[in-house]
Amino acid sequence: MEREKLYDGEYRFMQIIWEHAPINSGELVNLCAEAFEWKKSTTYTMIKKMCDKGYISSNNAVIDVLVSKDLARKEASADFVERNFNGSFADLFVAFYDGKKISEKEAKELKKLIDAYREPVV
What does the pLDDT look like over 65-93, one tens digit per residue?
Answer: 999 999 999 988 888 899 999 989 889 98
Residue 2 CB neighbours (<10 A):
6
- Integer Cα distance of 57 and 41 in angstroms: 18
pLDDT, tens digit, 9 for 90 and up, residues 31-77: 999 999 999 999 999 999 999 999 999 999 999 999 999 999 998 88
State pTM to two decimals: 0.75
List the one residue out of 46, 21, 48 whose CA is nearest residue 33: 46
